Chains A and B, each alone.
Chain A
Amino acid sequence: MSQLLQIENFTLGFPGRPPLLDSVSLHVNDGEAVALVGESGSGKSLTTRAALGLFPGGSESSGLVSVQGLDTLTASKQRLMELRRRHASMIFQDPRAGINPVRTVGDFLTETLLRFDGLSRSEATERAVKQLEQVGLRRAKELMDQHPHQLSGGMLQRVMIAAALLNSPDLLLCDEPTTALDVTTQAGIVNILREEQQARGMGMLFITHDLNLAASLCERVYVLRRGEVVEHGPTRTVFLTPEQDYTRQLVEATPVIESGAASASPAAPGPDSAVAPLLKVSGLSKTYQLPRGEIITALDAADFSLPEGGSLGIVGESGSGKSTLARLVVALETATSGELTLRDVPRPRRPLNASERKTLAKDVQIVFQDPYLSLDPRIPVGNAVADVFRLHQKQGRKEAKDSARNLLGRVGIGAERIDALPRALSGGQRQRVALAKALAARPRLLVLDEATSALDVSVQAQVLELVEELRDQLGLTILFVTHDLAVVSRLCSEVLVMHQGRIVEQGPTARILEDPGDDYTRNLIASRPRPLWDAEPVTA
């Protein structure tokens, strides 16, 4: 049998608690790319790490995890190290956390070569340089002496891949290797992985929560839910005709670019509306000065307006200035130059004082990316929302509590959870609370700063649905900052594409997605992973 990785009835858990993995069975053949898909907490990472004999301390496991016939559950330390050195490599999610920040890139690459392959320093360096060039990094020799903080995330992930390929493994394990990266960078990394896997005939197990990504890379897929494999089969079959409800939900929840959908929504008035815009921005710039005198332009002369009841998506990669723009709108930052007018009130170019801030907060509210960080961990969620009612609606303690209960009910948080602390809630529930908190001020304009990026796809779908519903019911104006074009296409009638601090393109979402006028926008759209069975394979 040419099964490279074979996992049979693998169960793992801590004594006295329900198992984290329950009878997981999967296999990867030689030269085959297999995806393991699931949401956070489904046990994807545990399964993959088991293939290298990496188990969490104090856990108990049973079953079979075998790589080329070596059972990692029972193998000796020596055999396991042998396996990790020669036969199986792993690429981790976050290269910035995964590469020792105090050592050089060269040291990271050559440490195994020097120790176990008996190469001399110059031989090892030569081999590492060659490998770096192979994964598409230029000036590889110079990179060898640099430290990780001097490289971008995309470059670092290439370094990580190079390190994994150095010992020509038979099995490559990838643990969400592109989640921490921008879309365009992700496209490059996916290409490299696909190329190397095909060229070397490696077996690959690719973990991801992104179905599109799995479809663009792998022939077979396993869907994991709460430690159990719920469905498996060829990628195309599983995604196009899913058998299980969970898989169906997952497929439906995965955002796709739907041109025409958003513009058809009745809630979005055309740009021709004669009313004065709710938010008007002209020539808005923000620059930062570094201690060494270098000036960084985070936002360069932004011009746009947003009518009452409209919805505008701001799309761009990290560092494009989209968050700076959002923070300027809610006055968390002060502009360096340019005008920002909200409901005909020009924004002064200085930090707001307390009363101005309070007045502004009635009109504009923001929801941040990470609900784990944006809610006070010591305040029960009911009180957190009630406090906003007391502050902005001048309600009494009891009245505010009632309003909070109503509002939370409306966003899908039941009355039984009203006294819960944020840590007792799931990520999606927390983001609903954050949303309720913002809505309690009854704002005209709601700014969502990557508000769904930290959430699982199914949860993201629920939150987006909720925002859509609230937009239609309350006539909210929405400013949605995101890196995900698909999310914008669903929610926003207008879109604004940002690149390196500048707005490169703006207009109706449908038009921009169908007929992008700017190279960068085109690149952004092309970078979205496409299924293997759809059109030609992705090319750079």
Chain B
Amino acid sequence: MTATDHVQAPAPAPGAPSRRREKGQAARPAMYIAKKVLALVVTLFVASLAVFFSRFLVPGDPARFLLRGRSPKPEALEEITRQFGLDKPAWEQYLNWLGGILQGDWGRSLTYRQDVSDVLLGRLPTTLQLVALAAVFITVLGLFAGIVASLNKGFGDRFILITLTAAGAVPPFVAAIALVALFSVGLGWFPSFGSGDGGWDRIWHLTLPALALGITYIAMVARVTRSSMNEQLLREHVEVATSRGLTRGSVVARHVLRNAMGPILTVSGVLVAGLLVSSAIIERTFGLSGIGQLLVQSIDRLDFGVVQAIVMVVVAAFVLVNTVVDLVQPLIDPRIAAGTESR
């Protein structure tokens, strides 16, 4: 508002207000990043509390479980309890656990009799690759379907919308069975079992699982893309761009999709981070040994060390992805960094 005047005003007047503005903006990104990172750390800390102490809510004594129904001598039970540090007060156990994690030691698995980190590292890559591939499918196919739907009003839009609604309602295990029936049993294009030997073979093996895992999310991303783009298409700046003789492609890429990116990114971030959890069913269906399946087994066997480690990894991945999304948002829409977000 004050700036209106200095368009016409002679020389010295305008410098002052705008310079102040620039200085504020230089300090802002650093503050913004620092805040987000601080929030990340606090969230992880709170999550660690919840993860650790929730085990005390679960019935059953892990030491007793270890002995598999054998009726133990009291001193043997005591020995095992001491060996795993279960006799100490809860807060001390927590501090030990947290201290260990910070040094890369996640404790020992009760069932596998080896370090939790070794158990985890053996399985994490498979799951991460599965999730990464699913994420690629989700973004590429989701964006594509959304864009096509948004730009083809009428039949195309309605057809894609109905297909998406149907796809979004399919539970992953049904999708998995259907995909296997069609592509591996029927057509024989993809294997139905195992995770392959790395490289292309791995991707080939993981294609069906990733598709099955991602199908619901593809539908969601496509819907968000569609509505976000539809909202932008009505904006006046799109008409201005058209009126200046830009091609349809340029208008869509530079002014519609670019501006629609914010919501799409937010939703994709949340969805992709959530994939880690929902991968258990798919891993089971396709016989992959990933952390999803490990989590289910470990809960079953009261193997708390492994459960806590997996949950922490999932929480960390979730929070991390969302923090990255938050940090990228200002690059997409500079108004967010300036704190003056308005249409």
Point out residues on A near B: beta carbons under 8 Å. 49, 52, 54, 57, 81-86, 89-90, 92, 94, 97-103, 111-112, 115-116, 136-139, 147, 149-155, 158, 160, 163, 181-182, 184-185, 188, 291-292, 317-319, 500, 540
Q: List the 7 closest A-B pairs by CB distance, nearest first.
A: A319-B1, A84-B245, A85-B245, A152-B3, A97-B236, A154-B4, A100-B237
Inter-chain CA distance A534–B246, complex, in Å, is 42
Inter-chain CA distance A145–B7, complex, in Å, is 18
Query: Is the C-beta of B343 less than 8 angstroms from some C-beta in chain A?
Result: yes
Q: Report chain A residues within 8 Å CB of B237.
A: 97-101
Contact B14 A163 (CB under 8 A): no
Contact A112 B244 (CB under 8 A): yes
Also in contact, A150 and B21, with CB within 8 A (given A101-B333, A102-B334, A318-B1): yes
Chain A nearest CB, measured from B260 CB (Å) = 10
Query: Is the C-beta of B55 less than 8 angstroms from some C-beta in chain A?
Result: no
Bitwise interface map of B from 89 to 131 toward A, beta carbon under 8 Å scored 1, else 0: 0000000000000000000000000000000000000000000
Contact B2 A92 (CB under 8 A): no
Of residues 110 to 155 in B, which have CB atoms within 8 Å of A's CB atoms? 153
Point out residues on B near A: beta carbons under 8 Å. 1-5, 7-8, 11, 14, 18, 21, 24, 153, 235-237, 239-247, 250, 254-255, 258-259, 332-335, 338-340, 342-343
Contact A317 B338 (CB under 8 A): no
Q: Report chain A residues within 8 Å CB of B240.
A: 90, 92, 98-99, 160
Closest A residue to B242 using CB positions? A54
Contact A317 B4 (CB under 8 A): yes
Contact A100 B1 (CB under 8 A): no
Contact B243 A54 (CB under 8 A): yes
Inter-chain CA distance A513–B227, complex, in Å, is 52
Contact A115 B250 (CB under 8 A): yes
Closest B residue to A52 using CB positions? B243
Closest B residue to A107 using CB positions? B254
Contact B333 A111 (CB under 8 A): no
Contact A81 B1 (CB under 8 A): no
Also in contact, A184 and B335, with CB within 8 A (given A115-B250, A116-B245, A139-B14): no
* CB pairs A–B below 8 angstroms (23 shown): A83-B245, A85-B244, A90-B240, A97-B235, A99-B237, A99-B240, A100-B255, A100-B258, A101-B333, A102-B334, A111-B246, A111-B254, A138-B11, A138-B14, A147-B335, A150-B338, A152-B2, A152-B3, A154-B3, A317-B4, A319-B2, A500-B2, A540-B8
Also in contact, A92 and B245, with CB within 8 A (given A102-B259, A540-B8): no
Inter-chain CA distance A102–B337, complex, in Å, is 11
Q: Report chain A residues within 8 Å CB of B339.
A: 291
Also in contact, A182 and B4, with CB within 8 A (given A92-B240, A94-B236, A102-B332): yes
Inter-chain CA distance A153–B259, complex, in Å, is 21
Chain B nearest CB, measured from A478 CB (Å) = 27
Chain A nearest CB, measured from B188 CB (Å) = 46
Chain A nearest CB, measured from B185 CB (Å) = 46
Inter-chain CA distance A115–B241, complex, in Å, is 13
Q: Of the candidates B7, B243, B255, which one forms a contact with A188 in the assembled complex, judged by CB atoms under 8 Å apart? A: B7
Contact A92 B4 (CB under 8 A): no
Inter-chain CA distance A160–B240, complex, in Å, is 10
Q: Report chain A residues within 8 Å CB of B153.
A: 57
Which of the listed residues A57, A137, A154, A158 has the most CB atoms from chain B within 10 Å of its own CB? A154
Q: Report chain A residues within 8 Å CB of B2.
A: 152, 319, 500
Also in contact, A81 and B245, with CB within 8 A (given A102-B258, A154-B7, A188-B8): yes
Q: Report chain A residues within 8 Å CB of B21.
A: 150
Q: Report chain B residues within 8 Å CB of A99.
A: 237, 240
Inter-chain CA distance A184–B1, complex, in Å, is 12
Inter-chain CA distance A307–B245, complex, in Å, is 59
Contact A149 B1 (CB under 8 A): no
Chain A nearest CB, measured from B2 CB (Å) = 7
Chain B nearest CB, measured from A519 CB (Å) = 12
Closest B residue to A185 using CB positions? B4
Inter-chain CA distance A49–B239, complex, in Å, is 10
Q: Of the candidates B244, B254, B338, which one forms a contact with A103 in the assembled complex, judged by CB atoms under 8 Å apart? A: B254
Also in contact, A89 and B244, with CB within 8 A (given A97-B343, A102-B334, A147-B334): yes
Inter-chain CA distance A102–B343, complex, in Å, is 11
Contact B255 A101 (CB under 8 A): no
Closest A residue to B341 using CB positions? A149
Inter-chain CA distance A111–B244, complex, in Å, is 10
Contact A149 B340 (CB under 8 A): yes
Q: Of the candidates B1, B245, B335, which one forms a contact with A101 in the assembled complex, judged by CB atoms under 8 Å apart? A: B335
Q: Report chain A residues within 8 Å CB of B246.
A: 81, 111-112, 115
Inter-chain CA distance A147–B246, complex, in Å, is 20
Q: Report chain B residues within 8 Å CB of A319.
A: 1-2
Q: Report chain A residues within 8 Å CB of B254.
A: 100, 103, 111
Chain A nearest CB, measured from B251 CB (Å) = 10
Inter-chain CA distance A90–B235, complex, in Å, is 16
Chain B nearest CB, measured from A180 CB (Å) = 11
Q: Report chain A residues within 8 Å CB of B242.
A: 54, 84
Q: Report chain B residues within 8 Å CB of A81.
A: 245-247
Contact A158 B7 (CB under 8 A): yes
Inter-chain CA distance A179–B242, complex, in Å, is 22
Chain A nearest CB, measured from B318 CB (Å) = 27
Q: Of the candidates B24, B241, B245, which one forms a contact with A82 in the assembled complex, judged by CB atoms under 8 Å apart? A: B245
Inter-chain CA distance A10–B242, complex, in Å, is 22
Inter-chain CA distance A116–B243, complex, in Å, is 14
Also in contact, A92 and B244, with CB within 8 A (given A101-B333, A111-B254, A152-B1): no
Also in contact, A149 and B334, with CB within 8 A (given A83-B245, A85-B244, A90-B243): yes
Q: Report chain A residues within 8 Å CB of B239.
A: 54, 92, 98
Chain B nearest CB, measured from A351 CB (Å) = 25
Contact A152 B245 (CB under 8 A): no
Q: Of the candidates A85, A86, A100, A150, which one forms a contact with B241 in the assembled complex, judged by CB atoms under 8 Å apart? A: A100
Inter-chain CA distance A94–B240, complex, in Å, is 11
Inter-chain CA distance A116–B247, complex, in Å, is 10
Also in contact, A155 and B7, with CB within 8 A (given A102-B258, A138-B14): yes
Q: Report chain B residues within 8 Å CB of A185.
A: 4, 7
Inter-chain CA distance A291–B259, complex, in Å, is 27
Q: Report chain B residues within 8 Å CB of A89.
A: 243-244
Closest A residue to B241 using CB positions? A100
Contact B7 A152 (CB under 8 A): yes
Inter-chain CA distance A317–B11, complex, in Å, is 23
Q: Report chain B residues within 8 Å CB of A160.
A: 240
Q: Report chain B residues within 8 Å CB of A116.
A: 245
Q: Report chain B residues within 8 Å CB of A163.
A: 244
Q: Report chain B residues within 8 Å CB of A540.
A: 8
Contact B244 A84 (CB under 8 A): yes
Contact B3 A151 (CB under 8 A): yes
Also in contact, A100 and B259, with CB within 8 A (given A115-B250, A149-B340): yes
Chain A nearest CB, measured from B143 CB (Å) = 18
Q: Of the candidates B18, B24, B333, which one forms a contact with A102 in the assembled complex, judged by CB atoms under 8 Å apart? A: B333
Which of the listed residues B236, B245, B258, B340 has the most CB atoms from chain A within 10 Å of its own CB? B245
Closest B residue to A138 using CB positions? B14
Inter-chain CA distance A97–B237, complex, in Å, is 6
Q: Report chain B residues within 8 Å CB of A155.
A: 3-4, 7
Contact A149 B244 (CB under 8 A): no
Inter-chain CA distance A163–B342, complex, in Å, is 23
Inter-chain CA distance A155–B3, complex, in Å, is 8
Q: Report chain B residues within 8 Å CB of A138.
A: 7, 11, 14
Chain A nearest CB, measured from B85 CB (Å) = 47
Chain A nearest CB, measured from B7 CB (Å) = 5
